[in-house]
Amino acid sequence: MSDSHAPEHDYHLVDPSPWPIVCAVGAFLMAVGAVKYMHELPLLASMPGSYSVVFYVGTLVVLFGAYSWWADVIKEGEHEGHHSPIVQLGLRYGMFLFIISEVMFFVAWFWAYFNASIFPTEAIGAVWPPEGIQTLDPWHLPLVNTLVLLTSGTTVTWAHHALQEGDRKTFINMLIFTILLGAAFTGIQIYEYSIATFAFDANIYSSTFYMATGFHGAHVLIGTIFLMVCLLRGLKGHFTPKHHFGFEAAAWYWHFVDVVWLVLFVSIYVGGAGIVGAH
């Protein structure tokens, strides 16, 4: 009788979950709140900018839904043993497709940048960068950030190999170094923005620059949080040499932001350098 309920296949049929619809509702509130807020449309006539409240409420709903959803996935894989090799393969396919979708997201910003820089219009004087723009020195802070991010790619790979070999101490230490390097990158990026001589809405150069580098910075922040969750899980004894897709997905994501930054550095910072102003 004890074997009557044993699974007859290697797949995991998940239980019904409320978290996908919760996250969808939260994302909808975020989108509506952000659009209305950017157009300065009030939710209440007596409260200008009150649509920002809708955005923040949506953000909280998304964060709660995501936390609960991923907690269920961790429980299914780490404690209930549902993540068989075939399930892990499906998860890998899913993560791969997600990263491809992120690549397409950044292609849009690179397309906008290359379209404006290769074919500058009369509206900006038919030159690139537009007159009056003092670009950032690519061989100063951007180069430092490049070295920081490349080093973090090395440490996260080191952590992965240590985990595969069962060296948990080195895995934890290298993961901590990676997180610190990610935080350093974000700090340098914020400082770089603070000394830039052009505002977000100055012209097409500043808009494409901040959209591309800003969204990349957001992905670095998300990736750092992803790795911090893996660190907490590692400290709790999660992950084994043969069962650690949660960390592997974080490492894939981190290498993705590494590659995007290299393209940003070469095309926007170096290729788009004009009159160097800020250091």
Which letter does DSSP use for residue 275 in this model? E
Which residues sit opposite 243 in a β-bridge?
A: 240
pLDDT digit string (tens) for 118-148?
Answer: 888 888 888 888 888 888 999 999 999 999 9
On average, the pLDDT of the chain sits at 89
Strand partners, 47: 44
Q: Are 71 and 100 in the same domain? A: no
Question: DSSP assignment of 152-173, as one string?
Answer: HHHHHHHHHHHHHTT-HHHHHH
DSSP symbol at 99: H
Task: Determine the Cα–Cα distance for residues 225 and 58; give it in Å rounded to an integer.
Answer: 20
Give yes or no: residues 243 and 115 share one domain: yes
Chain position carrying tokens 């993560």: 95
Q: Are 186 and 225 in contact (CB under 8 A)?
A: no
Sign for the pseudo-dihedral over CA of 139, 141, 144, 146 = negative
Verify that 175 and 72 share a domain, yes or no.
no
Task: Specify whether the CB–CB gap between 167 and 159 falls below 8 A.
Answer: no
Number of residues in the chain: 279
Neighbours of 246 (CB within 10 A): 21
Q: Distance (Å, rounded) from C-alpha 26 to C-alpha 16?
A: 19
Per DSSP, helices labelled H in 39-133 are 51-74, 85-118
Query: Over 90: is that where the pLDDT of 46 sits?
Result: no
Considering its fold, how many domains does the chain have in total?
2
Tell me: do 141 and 224 sit in the same domain. yes
Mean pLDDT of 167-194: 97
pLDDT (average), residues 207-216:
95
Residue 186 has pLDDT above 50, yes or no: yes
Do 109 and 64 reside in the same domain of the chain? no
CATH code of the domain containing 72: 1.10.287.70
Same domain, 145 and 56: no
pLDDT band at 274 (very low <50, low <70, confident <90, very high): low
Structural domain for 217, as ranges = 83-276
Question: Confidence class of residue 85 from pLDDT cuts 50, 70 and 90?
Answer: confident
Q: Of the candidates 17, 52, 82, which is a domain's last residue?
A: 82
Q: Which residue, chain included where needed, has tokens 């250091």?
A: 279
Q: Is the pLDDT of residue 51 over 80?
A: no
> Same structural domain for residues 57 and 140?
no
**Do residues 11 and 88 both lie within one domain?**
no
- 3 state SS of 274: coil
Domain boundary among 48, 82, 116: 82
Residue 180 and residue 93 share a domain: yes
* pLDDT (mean) for 83-89: 87
Percentage of the residues of the chain whose pLDDT score is greater than 90: 67
The answer to whether the pTM exceeds 0.85 is yes
Same domain, 77 and 89: no
**DSSP letter at 76?**
I
User: Closest by alpha carbon to 246, among 158, 160, 167, 151?
Assistant: 160
- What pLDDT is stored for residue 19 in this prediction? 95
Tokens of 64: 């709660």
Do 55 and 35 belong together in one domain? Answer: yes
Tell me, yes or no, whether 103 and 201 share the same domain: yes
